[in-house]
Structure 1
Amino acid sequence: MGKTHFMISYAYEIMTKLGKPVLYVTPEMDKNQLNARMLARITGVDASMIQTNTQCYWEQIAQGIGQMVELPWKVYEHSSPTTTMIASAVRRAIAEFGGSIGAVFIDYLQQIPLESGGNMAFEVGKITRQIRDIAKSHKIPVFLGCQINRGNQTTADKRPNRHLLRNSGEIFEVCDQLIMLYRNSVYSNDSSDHTIELIVEKNRLYGKLGTATMLCDLSTSKFLNLAR
């Protein structure tokens, strides 16, 4: 649905609008791919074009690289990071950025290895609690991407809900906010439909639940206010 694009866009807003550093933990995507997507967000040039056809957009890309170097952006790349490794990466980032950072993004939960061969739901719940402990101990928001199971594929309304959280309902209990993404174009095959729904299933911080609809351009990881 675009969870990585959403997290990259969110990280960009935190760095540019709030001026706060961001740590992005990426078990799945390598650093070059992730930086290409962030560069696409900065320049408005399709990420695939940045990686395969840079000559056509060289001036825009060169300017974007200059802007990107100035961003307080740190990527921690590891194929199977444990929560202990993530906690260490957070501490290093905080030290590197002078004692504080604005947020941590972890993309995504199912790429964090389980500690034992026991009950999967229990293990996923344990990892989620450990991630929450990192957020609480450093007093920073941690955004944790998560997959859902495919149970919604068999229903008339394909929108996700909290019961589809993969492997663990405890994720819902532990998190402060749960935002689920839905793009109708995935099912309608309507390439002209650029809307995305942000379905807020839980909101412990402010209490408001509901759906916000935005416009999105996944080629540049850009999310826009629909009212504009």
Structure 2
Amino acid sequence: MTEKALYSADLERAVLCALIIDPKKLNDVLEHISDPVVFYVSKNQLVYKAMLNLYEKHQYFDLVMLADEVKDPVYVAELTNMAITSAHVVDHAAKLYDLYVRRELRKACEKSIELISNNDESLADTVASVDALVMTAAKKIKNTEIADMETLAAERFRKYVSDAAKGKVFEGFRTGFVDLDYLVEGFGLGENIILAARPSMGKTALALNIARNVAGSGIPVIIFSLEMRKERVADRLLCAEAGIDSKDYRNRILTDESFKRLEAALNKLIDLPIKIVDGTITTADIKSLIAREANKKWPLLVVIDFLTLIADKRTANMSAHEHFGGIAKKIQFMAREFNIPIMLLAQLNREVEKRSDKKPFLSDLRESGNIEEAADKVLFIYRDDYYNEDSKDKGIAEIICAKNRDGEIGTVKLAWQPKYVKFLNLAYQ
């Protein structure tokens, strides 16, 4: 396909002619063409830029003003010779924008082929670069929709009636922890949920417990394990499901009774729709795998353990604050794009340990500013018995909801069983 196939000089001139005839149509055309670069022919870019400048200054322009601004009265006069009206100018503008995005996509593909052929970067870096190029072009696709309140409110009302009739309490997934679900209303579709704690608090255990509960309701789960090998994740799921001592399991000294429970746990887990991915993984890898799995069954829950191990390349002039905040923002965009909840695990900084009150705050998130902004919900885990031997709350974990974009914040308590690496509802411990 030649370059000419992805532009139309006649269509460009038709749009410009229509705007000269009826300058007020520029407001409608701007919905599709806000930048002169959308036009392929350089002269047409100059004319459209002049129109934008004049309209910004005067909210109006005519043939004389435009010719003076462009400094090419002959070409402007030629545009008016077309036998055209302004009736279809918005449709023509939409078509021009479509052609522009296709040109940008082709440029991205050509550059991608060049990167692949040069073989100058590692394979992972090349994949990330190619993904960035294509995504930059793809982001130019306009998917913004304006909804009037009459339509939107009616749709939401019908959704409520339908869900209520089915006994559906909220949109999204239940975590399987009753008090937590009541507080945060589950994990909503399109949400980025940050689960953070200091080391050894049980954030991976809680994430795996939630993943198992969600999968148990028939919803597919993908776990990106960047800290532990997939075999170790499977071990944890087996021990938690069977309710057996993880230390005895690792040392291969299970009693006959414990072994029977392990077999029963295996029979339950093998039927669950859980997939585990480990190794060195970038946000491009995560997005690619989500897209592949989402095409098979929808919706799904994604768990990423954890943020600072995502292997995106950090530029030399970028701070850790900006780098990890940018990654968290990419994860948030993925949740929105695929309309799925993503649970992203994160570490809390060491400042927590220096305080007498060890309960975490939002400011304790590592590189907290950007990460917090990218979160719809922020959950912390705090166990008093970790810090105080004589704690009255032995075996109790507090799950602190420090941010909830669409609901309440607060604290709920769960039972913590370290031998089984498992959290339970307090009423069922």
> Could you tell me whether the CA contact under 8 Å between 2:283 and 2:312 is conserved in 1?
no
> Could you tell me whether the CA contact under 8 Å between 1:215 and 1:223 is conserved in 2?
yes
> In the alignment, does 2:316 pair up with 1:115?
no
> Could you tell me whether the CA contact under 8 Å between 2:362 and 2:368 is conserved in 1?
no
1:54 to 1:132, Cα distance in 2 relative to 1, 3 A: farther
Pairwise mapping of residues 97-108 of structure 1 onto structure 2 (< 5 A)? 98-108=296-306
Residue equivalent to 1:200? 401
Pairwise mapping of residues 65-104 of structure 1 onto structure 2 (< 5 A)? 65-78=266-279, 80-95=280-295, 98-104=296-302
Greater fraction strand:
1
> Could you tell me whether the CA contact under 8 Å between 1:22 and 1:101 is conserved in 2?
no
Equivalent-residue separation in structure 1 for 2:292 and 2:246 (angstroms): 29
Matched position secondary structure for 1:220? coil
Residue equivalent to 2:260? 59
Q: How many residues align?
A: 223
> In the alignment, does 2:354 pair up with 1:168?
no
Q: Over aligned residue pairs, what C-alpha RMSD do you find?
A: 1.7
Q: Deviations over 1:168-199 (max 9, x none)?
A: 31111110000011001110135981000011
Q: Deviations over 1:122-178 (max 9, x none)?
A: 011110011111111111100000001011212111101110111231111110000
TM-score, normalised via structure 1 length: 0.91
Residue equivalent to 1:125? 325
1:94 to 1:190, Cα distance in 2 relative to 1, 3 A: farther
Equivalent-residue separation in structure 2 for 1:190 and 1:25 (angstroms): 37
> Could you tell me whether the CA contact under 8 Å between 2:223 and 2:277 is conserved in 1?
yes
TM-score, normalised via structure 2 length: 0.50
Equivalent-residue separation in structure 1 for 2:424 and 2:297 (angstroms): 32
1:167 to 1:114, Cα distance in 2 relative to 1, 3 A: farther
Q: 1:31 aligns with which of 199, 206, 230?
A: 230
Residue equivalent to 1:15? 215
Matched position secondary structure for 2:214? helix
> In the alignment, does 2:243 pair up with 1:44?
yes
> Could you tell me whether the CA contact under 8 Å between 1:165 and 1:171 is conserved in 2?
yes
Residue equivalent to 1:151? 351
Equivalent-residue separation in structure 2 for 1:46 and 1:90 (angstroms): 33
> Could you tell me whether the CA contact under 8 Å between 2:282 and 2:311 is conserved in 1?
yes
Letter in 1 for 2:349: N
Equivalent-residue separation in structure 2 for 1:209 and 1:168 (angstroms): 18
Unaligned runs of 5+ in 2: 1-200
Matched position secondary structure for 2:368? coil
Greater fraction helix:
2
Structure 1 position 54, deviation (Å): 5.4
Structure 1 position 91, deviation (Å): 2.1
> Could you tell me whether the CA contact under 8 Å between 1:124 and 1:168 is conserved in 2?
no
Structure 1 runs of 4+ with >4 Å offset: none
Equivalent-residue separation in structure 1 for 2:350 and 2:358 (angstroms): 10
Residue equivalent to 1:182? 382
> In the alignment, does 2:332 pair up with 1:140?
no
Matched position secondary structure for 1:198? strand
> Could you tell me whether the CA contact under 8 Å between 2:221 and 2:302 is conserved in 1?
yes
Equivalent-residue separation in structure 2 for 1:51 and 1:92 (angstroms): 34
Higher relative contact order (CA 8 A, sep 6+): 1
Indicate the structure (1 or 2) with the bigger Cα radius of gyration: 2
| Farther off after superposition, 55-64 or 82-91 | 55-64
